[in-house]
């Protein structure tokens, strides 16, 4: 597990996940992000939507402390076994569109990392299995391990649960929410107060739908964005 440069002085973290190459949503989230000491991303930077290279470049330029999700891993390896046809289309598109530097950076990401002097652990699906979907009703304090906060992604469903031992949170998906709310999701974590602000921001879904069509990606990818599914 990689330990990032955000040290013990960190107080507020912006938390994002599952950007899925949706530049319009990512721009909206970054514009709405309040002042924070750093940004972390719980994986799946690419896939589904038509701006993989632009999203990777933005996250690199912002020094976002990202980990690798299952779509990122598929783009790097080319292995799409078990993925749906829509997911495969997004992976293949990203493999064509990513620059060599972008692909190398994606390949360099760890599967998990700790930040804030070890207080925050960031994984994609589950601490024991990066591909395991972990929903609100399935989390418990045992998932925290030695950390005060566990950040999950993968489900595209926003939640935060507080235990006596700490917090487990999923900021939801920036680029493809699946909780019935089409607005882009993110969270703000305050490590001093041990609180989480769950936030949403509107973005131009129609613009993304047009870009999906123009890129030749499956039309359902755009349709589901308007419904948050």
Beta sheet of 113-115, edge-to-edge order? 2-3, 113-115, 120-122, 149-151, 166-170, 159-163
Please give the residue range of the domain that contains residue 90: 8-227
Q: For 40, which DSSP code?
A: E
Radius of gyration of the CA atoms of the chain, in A: 16
Q: Is residue 2 part of a domain?
A: no
In the structure, what pLDDT confidence band is assigned to residue 11 with cuts at 50, 70 and 90? Answer: confident
The residues, any chain, with a CB within 8 Å of residue 110's CB and separated by 6 or more, are 1, 2, 67, 68
Predicted local distance difference test score (pLDDT) of residue 3? 33
Q: Is residue 82 part of a domain?
A: yes
Predicted local distance difference test score (pLDDT) of residue 10? 78
Which helix or strand (DSSP H or E) is residue 197 part of?
A: strand 195-201
Read off the pLDDT of residues 108-136 as tens digits, 9 standing for 90 and up. 999 999 999 899 999 999 999 999 999 99
Distance set, CA 132 to CA 129, 150, 228 (Å): 5, 15, 21
Q: Is residue 91 part of a domain?
A: yes
Indicate whether 1 pLDDT > 50: no
Mean pLDDT of the chain: 94
Q: What is the CATH number of the domain that holds 162?
A: 3.60.21.10
> Considering only CA atoms, which of 117, 137, 125, 128 is closest in space to residue 7?
117
Q: Is residue 59 part of a domain?
A: yes
Q: What is the tally of structural domains in the chain? A: 1
Read off the pLDDT of residues 127-179 as tens digits, 9 standing for 90 and up. 999 999 999 999 999 999 999 999 999 999 999 999 999 999 999 999 999 99
In the structure, what pLDDT confidence band is assigned to residue 2 with cuts at 50, 70 and 90? Answer: very low
Percentage, residues of the chain above pLDDT 90: 94
Q: Is residue 62 part of a domain?
A: yes
Q: For 144, which DSSP code?
A: G
Q: Is residue 181 part of a domain?
A: yes
Q: Is residue 1 part of a domain?
A: no
Q: Are 108 and 137 in contact (CB under 8 A)?
A: no
Q: Is residue 78 part of a domain?
A: yes
Q: What is the mean pLDDT of residues 2-14?
A: 63
């Amino acid at each position: 597990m990689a330990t990032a440069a955000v040290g013990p002085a960190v107080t507020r973290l912006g938390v994002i996940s599952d950007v899925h190459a949706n530049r319009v949503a990512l721009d909206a989230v970054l514009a709405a992000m309040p002042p924070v000491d750093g940004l972390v991303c719980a994986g799946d930077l690419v896939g589904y939507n038509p701006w993989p290279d632009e999203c990777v470049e933005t996250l690199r330029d912002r020094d976002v402390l990202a980990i690798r999700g299952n779509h990122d891993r598929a783009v790097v390896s080319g292995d799409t076994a078990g993925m749906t046809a829509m997911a495969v289309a997004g992976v293949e598109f990203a493999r064509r569109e990513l620059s060599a530097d972008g692909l190398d950076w994606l390949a360099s990401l760890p599967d998990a990392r700790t930040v804030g002097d070890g207080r925050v652990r960031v994984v994609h699906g589950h601490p024991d299995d990066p591909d395991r979907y972990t929903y609100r009703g399935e989390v418990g304090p045992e998932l925290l391990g030695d950390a005060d906060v566990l950040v999950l992604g993968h489900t595209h469903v926003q939640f935060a649960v507080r235990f006596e031992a700490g917090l487990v949170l999923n900021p939801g998906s920036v680029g493809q929410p699946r909780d019935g709310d089409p607005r882009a999701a993110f969270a703000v974590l305050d490590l001093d107060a041990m609180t989480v602000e769950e936030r949403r921001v509107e973005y131009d879904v129609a613009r993304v739908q047009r870009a999906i069509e123009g890129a030749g990606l499956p039309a359902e990818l755009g349709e589901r964005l308007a419904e948050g599914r």
